[in-house]
Amino acid sequence: MDLSFGELVRMMDLSAVRAESDESEVRAMADWARKYRCVAVFALPAMTGLLCSLLKDEKDIAVGGVVGFPSGGSTTTIKRREAEELLAMGCQELDMVINIGKLRSGRIDEVTADIRAVVEAAGSLPVKVIFECHHLNDEQIRQACGCSEAGGAAFVKTGTGWAQSGATVANVGLMKSCVGDRLGVKAAGGVRDLETLHRLHRAGATRFGIGLSSALAILAECERQP
C-alpha cells in the first residue's frame, strides 16, 4: 500500500547538503519543513548551527548532522569530534559516511570500529550509516550492513546524493534483506518523484533523504492524488 501524505512527510528528511547549498537554501528548507512537518532536516556542518537555531522551537522536527561527509575518509578521531560538535549544536540524529576506501580494501574490523566510535559519541541518539552504494558491489554492501549492525547503528543509508547514482530498488532490497527489522533503511540519492519513492518504500525503505526542490515536487504530486 502506498504512503498517504501524512505518512510520507513523517518519513522525509529534507537536505541541503550540496557544496553550493547556501544560507538562503537552508532558511527555505527550515520554512518548508515547518510548513509540512517533515520528520528531519540536514545541512552541511557549517550551516547546522543556523538550522538548529531556526528550528529550536519545533519539537517534532529533528535537526540532523552529517559526519565524515561526503567522502567518509576522515580519521575516526575526526569523525568522533565532528559528531560531538554537531551534538553540542543541538543535533538529534547523525548520518555518518562509512569509510568507503577501507571497506573496499577489506578492512572490516576498522570500518566497524569507525562506526562504533560515532555511535558511542551519539549515546542514545540514532546514527545512520551512509554506504555510497554507487562505489560498492553487492558483497561490499552486505559487509557494510554487517559493520553497521555490529557498530550499533540505527539505520543503513544508500548514499550521500553526491555520487552518480544512489537509491535503487535493488540496493534498498539488498540492504533490507541483510538488516531485516533490526535496523531501518534510508534511501537517498536520486529520489526525485513520487513513484520512485513508493517503489523504494515497497523495497524496504522507511526514511528518505531528499533535496528541497525534489521534496517539494514530490509533496505537490502527493497532494494532487485523490
Quote the percentage of the chain above a pLDDT of 70. Answer: 99
- Three-state SS letters, 58-118: CCCCEEEEEECCCCCCCCHHHHHHHHHHHHHHCCCEEEEECCHHHHHCCCHHHHHHHHHHH
Domain span including residue 201: 5-224
Q: Number of helices and strands (H, E) in the chain?
A: 10, 8
Q: Which pLDDT value is given to residue 166?
A: 79
Q: Is the pLDDT of residue 226 over 80?
A: no
> How many residues are present in the chain?
226
Q: Give me the CATH number covering residue 23.
A: 3.20.20.70
Q: Is the pLDDT of residue 164 over 90?
A: no
pLDDT in tens, 49-107: 999 999 999 999 999 999 999 999 999 999 999 999 999 999 999 999 999 999 999 99
Q: Is the pLDDT of residue 225 over 80?
A: no
Give the residue from 194, 162, 213 showing the smallest Cα distance to 29.
213
Number of domains composing the chain? 1
- Cα separation, 193 vs 191, whole angstroms: 6
Range 110-137 average pLDDT: 97
In contact, 156 and 185? CB cutoff 8 Å: yes
Active site residue 157: yes
Among residues 102, 128, 176, 186, the one annotated as catalytic is 186
| Nine-digit cell string for 20 | 553550493
| Nine-digit cell string for 59 | 519539537
Give the residue from 40, 119, 51 showing the smallest Cα distance to 90.
51
User: Burial level of 123, CB count in 10 A (0-12/13-18/19+)?
Assistant: exposed
Range 30-55 average pLDDT: 96
In contact, 181 and 154? CB cutoff 8 Å: no
Q: Is the pLDDT of residue 1 over 60?
A: no
This model's pTM is above 0.85: yes
Q: Which pLDDT value is given to residue 161?
A: 86
Active site residue 95: yes
Q: Which pLDDT value is given to residue 77?
A: 98
Among residues 79, 102, 157, 176, the one annotated as catalytic is 157
Among residues 79, 95, 102, 114, the one annotated as catalytic is 95
pLDDT in tens, 197-224: 999 999 999 999 999 999 999 998 888 8
